[in-house]
């Protein structure tokens, strides 16, 4: 511990004038600092406040420009989306038309298949009735000699002509 002087109970009294001098020096330093800042700003011609205002205005202008671009792009996307929706609707309509045509074709095919089946059954019935009628009309008759068909006659005459042409 520091011992106090026995005759002087208050330390401020002992220092006396020093606190006022220190305060005056500090005040002079503050005034000189403010003055030097004012001179520096006056000499350079720019102040941080105006720079900040200019920067804020530029930032606002950029923000507004970016917002306008976003709005334009959004409108473009909306138009593209609407075009896609319209095209999709057209494709859906075409698909519905194709489905209807396919269903109609399938119905026609089914109808024609049934008609072909009916015709086949009719032909088979006619063949059977013709065969049974033929069997009853020709009772175990001996087979008749075959006549030459027109095709066979033509072939025979043609081959005879060729032979004559080669020989003669």
pLDDT recorded at residue 39: 86
Per-residue burial over 10-27, b if 16 or more Cβ lie within 10 Å, else e, is eeeeeeeeeeeeeeeeee
Cβ atoms of 47 and 53 within 8 Å: the answer is no
Per-residue burial over 111-141, b if 16 or more Cβ lie within 10 Å, else e, is eeeeeeeeeeeeeeeeeeeeeeeeeeeeeee
pLDDT recorded at residue 1: 46
Q: In whole angstroms, give the CA distance from residue 147 to residue 142.
A: 15
> What pLDDT, in 10s, does the model give residues 48-105?
677 788 889 999 999 999 999 999 999 999 999 999 999 999 999 999 999 999 999 9
pLDDT recorded at residue 49: 72
Q: In whole angstroms, give the CA distance from residue 138 to residue 132.
A: 10
Interval 1-13 mean pLDDT: 52
pLDDT interval class at 46 (50, 70, 90): low
Assign residue 138 a region (left: φ > 0; alpha: ψ between -120 and 50; beta: otherwise): beta
> What pLDDT, in 10s, does the model give residues 91-147?
999 999 999 999 999 999 999 999 999 999 999 999 998 888 888 877 655 555 555
Cβ atoms of 19 and 12 within 8 Å: the answer is yes
């Amino acid at each position: 511990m520091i011992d106090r002087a026995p005759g002087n109970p208050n330390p401020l009294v002992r220092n006396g004038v020093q606190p006022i001098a220190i305060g005056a020096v500090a005040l002079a330093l503050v005034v000189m600092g403010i003055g030097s800042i004012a001179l520096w700003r006056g000499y350079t011609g720019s102040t941080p406040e105006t720079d900040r205002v200019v920067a804020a205005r530029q930032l606002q202008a950029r923000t507004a420009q970016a917002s306008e671009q976003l709005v334009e792009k959004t409108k473009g996307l909306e138009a593209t989306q609407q075009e896609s929706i319209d095209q999709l609707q057209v494709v859906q309509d075409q698909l519905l038309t194709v489905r209807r045509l396919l269903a109609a074709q399938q119905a026609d095919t089914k109808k024609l298949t049934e008609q072909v089946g009916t015709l086949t059954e009719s032909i088979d019935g006619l063949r059977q009735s013709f065969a049974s009628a033929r069997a009853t009309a020709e009772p175990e008759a001996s087979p008749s000699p075959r006549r030459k068909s027109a095709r066979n006659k033509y072939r025979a005459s043609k081959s005879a002509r060729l032979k004559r042409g080669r020989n003669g």
